[in-house]
Chains A and B, each alone.
Chain A
Amino acid sequence: MTYSIVARCPKTGRLGIGTTTFSIACGRRNESVRPTIGVSKSQAMYIRAHDPRALNLMQQGFLPQHVMDVQAANDADWAYRQTGMVDRGGNAVAHTGDKVGKYCGHKVGADYAAFGNGLAGPQVVEGIVAGFLAEPDAPFEYRLLMGVEGGHKAGGQATDGRYRPSRSAWLCVTNHLTFREIDLRVDLHADPVGELRRLLDDFLRYRAYYEKQRLDPASVAAEEDFVAAL
C-alpha cells in the first residue's frame, strides 16, 4: 500500500516525486530519483534493482515506454509490481500489475503519472491528480505535495474497507544539478503527510541560506544566528 506521483515541472523542467506509504522510511528508496535523468518508482511488491536499471536505460536515451517494456520482459513476477516513470522530456508512463493489492490503479497525463495500491478506491488516484493539477502556477514542490495530500484527503489507503494510515512520506525534487535540490523525508510518524508539509514549509525558509553556504560561504551568517532571526 503506497501512493505516489512522479512528474516533471512544465515550467522549469525539474523532476520530482511525492509519495507516502504504510512501510517505514519510504524515502530510503532514493535510487528511484536520478538528478538530470528521470524518476522511476516501483512499488507494491517491488524489487529494488528495477529503478536503477530503469534509470540506467533512460540515461542511455531510451524513452520511459521502452524502458517499461524492457522491465516487463525481464521480470517473471511483473504482475506483482506497480511502477511509474517520468523522464526529462516529460514522458510519463505507469504500470499496475494484475496481482497488485486492491484497489490499485494509475493515471497518466502530460508530465505526470499518479499511481497507488492498497487504496480506498479509484477516487484516491483521482485525488492525487486533482491535487497536482489544482494550482499549475504553484512551485513544483508544492504541486507534488498537493498531489500526495489530494490522495490522502480522498481516503488514502484501506484494506477491506478499513482505513490504513500512512507512516512515512517523501518529497524529492531535482533540477539541472547533480544533487537533489529538495529531499525531505518523514520516516516514521503518525501523520507523515501533515509532517511533510510542515517540514517543506520550514526547509524552504532555509533553502537560500544553504545555497549560500555552497556558493558564497565567505559571506554567510552563522547558522544559529540565521535561525534566531527567523
Chain B
Amino acid sequence: MTYSLLVRCPKSGRFGIAMASYSLAIGRLTDGIRANVGVSVSQGFPNPANNFLAMNLLAAGFTASHTLGDLLGNDPHNEWRQVVVVDRTGAVAVKDGAKLRPWSGHVTGESAVAAGDMLAGKDVLTAMLKAYAAKPEAVLEDRLLLALEAGRDAGGEKGKSGPLHERSAAVVVCANDDHTEWDLRVDQHDGAIAELRRVHNEYQPHAAYYIERAANPHKAVPAMEFADMLKKKSA
C-alpha cells in the first residue's frame, strides 16, 4: 500500500526517492539511498533490512539486476515484497512479488521507476512518471513531489472497500555528500502529500541558509532572525 518513485538524475547523478503510503511513517523506509551508489526500497510487505544490504551490494560494484537477485535470494518471503533498485548508471531492476495485493506493478522511465501496490491502477504510476518528466529543468526534489501529487490525483491507493488516503509521505534526495541533501517527511496526516507540500514550500528558502550558516558561522544570521526576514519578505 505504497507508491514510490526512484530516480537517478541523468544530468547531476543525484539520486532521489519519493514515497506515499497508507502505512505510518513510510519515510522510515527511505534509508536505502547513498551518493554515487544508488537508491533502493523494499515495499509492499516491507523488509527494511533489504535497504542496507542493497546499498552494500551496489557500493561493492554490483549492477541493479545482480543486486536485486541477491536481495531476493536472501529473503524467504520475497514473494510478498516489491523490491526496487536503481544503480549509479541509472539502470533499474524491480521485482513485484506474486503475493502483493492488487493492483501492483511498476512502470519504468529514463533512469526512473514508479512502483506500488494496492493502487487504483497502473495509471497512478504512469501519471507519476509523466509529472516527473514534465519539468526536466526543475530541481529534483520539486519533480519528485510533483510526481507524488500526480499519483495521488490519478487515484492513489485502493483497499478492499475503496480508496485509502495516504497517511505518510517523504521526498529524499542525495547528492555528493555522506548525508541526504533534501529529506522531508510527513509521518501521520490525513492529507499527507498536501501536508508535505506545505512543509516543502516552507523549507525551501531555508535550504541554502542552513548550508551557509555551517560554512561561515562567524557571519551567520540567527535562525530566528532569518525566519523573520522571510516573513517580512512574503508580507
Q: Which residues of A contact B (CB under 8 A)?
A: 1, 22-25, 27-31, 35, 45-49, 51-53, 77, 80, 99, 101, 159, 164, 177-180, 183-188, 199, 202-203, 206, 210, 213-218, 220, 222-225
Tell whether B187 is near chain A: CB-to-CB under 8 Å.
yes
Known pairs A185-B185, A213-B80. 14 more at Cβ < 8 A? A1-B223, A23-B210, A45-B220, A48-B179, A178-B49, A179-B28, A179-B51, A183-B28, A184-B28, A202-B24, A203-B188, A217-B45, A218-B99, A224-B22
Q: List 23 A-B contacts (CB under 8 A).
A: A1-B223, A22-B223, A24-B203, A27-B183, A30-B179, A31-B179, A47-B215, A77-B217, A80-B217, A177-B49, A179-B48, A180-B28, A184-B28, A185-B25, A186-B187, A188-B198, A188-B199, A202-B24, A203-B24, A218-B80, A224-B160, A224-B164, A225-B160
- Digit string of B165-196 for contact with A (CB within 8 Å is 1, else 0)? 00000000000011110111111100000000
Assess whether B214 is in contact with A45, with CB atoms less than 8 Å apart. Answer: yes
Assess whether A25 is in contact with B203, with CB atoms less than 8 Å apart. Answer: yes
In the docked arrangement, what's the CA distance between A217 and B49, Å? 14
Tell whether B73 is near chain A: CB-to-CB under 8 Å.
no
Tell whether B27 is near chain A: CB-to-CB under 8 Å.
yes
In the docked arrangement, what's the CA distance between A187 and B126, Å? 29
Assess whether B159 is in contact with A224, with CB atoms less than 8 Å apart. Answer: yes
Assess whether A28 is in contact with B180, with CB atoms less than 8 Å apart. Answer: yes
Assess whether B224 is in contact with A164, with CB atoms less than 8 Å apart. Answer: yes
Minimum C-beta distance from A195 to chain B (A): 9
Q: Which residues of B contact A (CB under 8 A)?
A: 1, 22-25, 27-28, 31, 45-49, 51-53, 77, 80-81, 99, 101, 159-161, 164, 177-180, 182-188, 198-199, 202-203, 206, 210, 213-215, 217-218, 220, 222-224, 227
Which residues of chain B are near A220, meaning CB under 8 Å?
45
Q: Which of B24, B199, B217 contacts A45 (CB 8 A)?
A: B217
Give the residue name and chain of the A residue nearest to B204 (CB): A24
In the docked arrangement, what's the CA distance between A196 and B159, Å? 28
Assess whether B24 is in contact with A206, with CB atoms less than 8 Å apart. Answer: yes
Assess whether A183 is in contact with B25, with CB atoms less than 8 Å apart. Answer: yes
Which residues of chain B are near A45, meaning CB under 8 Å?
213-214, 217, 220
Which residues of chain A are near B53, meaning CB under 8 Å?
178
Assess whether B177 is in contact with A48, with CB atoms less than 8 Å apart. Answer: yes
Assess whether A52 is in contact with B179, with CB atoms less than 8 Å apart. Answer: yes
Which residues of chain A are near B227, meaning CB under 8 Å?
22
In the docked arrangement, what's the CA distance between A217 and B101, Å? 12
Q: Which of B23, B80, B213 contacts A223 (CB 8 A)?
A: B23
Assess whether A222 is in contact with B160, with CB atoms less than 8 Å apart. Answer: yes
